[in-house]
């Protein structure tokens, strides 16, 4: 796992973050709902996005929820998929591409 600051992108725009993750074939994990707009309305290419809609007590709780979720799917299954993780559930949506 890389954080935006690990690759000198802490001041990058959401568009730049999404483009970087897509180029590097990395799944983007975020709390920012704006990525849904880019993926669904603007049909921006991506390698996968996980939107966290949970408010855990600690960062450890976030990691546990992510580990639990990620243990059920392969990177290939999550490719070009928008995932929303909410308390007690998660939703997966394959996203359209520009050609669809």
pLDDT tens digit sequence for 25-55: 999 999 999 999 999 999 999 999 999 998 8
Pairwise CA distance, residues 30 & 47, whole Å: 14
Indicate whether 100 belongs to any domain: no
Indicate whether 87 belongs to any domain: yes
- Give whichever of 15-24, 47-56, 69-78 has the largest mean pLDDT: 15-24
State how many domains the chain has.
1
Indicate whether 99 belongs to any domain: no
Chain-centre distance of CA 74, in angstroms?
14
Indicate whether 16 belongs to any domain: yes
Q: Does 99 have pLDDT greater than 70?
A: no
Q: Does 92 have pLDDT greater than 60?
A: yes
Q: Which helix (H) or strand (E) holds 95?
A: none
Question: Bridge partners of 36?
Answer: none
Contact of 41 with 69, CB cutoff 8 Å: no
Indicate whether 77 belongs to any domain: yes
Domain encompassing residue 69: 4-94
What are the C-alpha distances in Å from 5 to residues 12, 18, 30, 61, 70? 9, 14, 14, 22, 23
């Amino acid at each position: 796992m890389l954080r935006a600051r690990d690759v000198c992108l802490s001041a990058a725009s959401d568009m730049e973050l999404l483009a970087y993750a897509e180029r590097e074939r990395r799944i983007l994990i975020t709390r920012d709902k704006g990525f849904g707009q880019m993926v669904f309305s603007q049909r921006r290419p991506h390698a996968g996005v996980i939107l966290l809609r949970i408010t855990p007590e600690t960062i450890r709780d976030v990691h546990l929820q992510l580990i639990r979720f990620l243990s059920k799917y392969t990177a290939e299954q999550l490719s070009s998929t928008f995932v929303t993780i909410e308390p007690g559930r998660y939703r997966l949506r394959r996203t359209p591409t520009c050609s669809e």
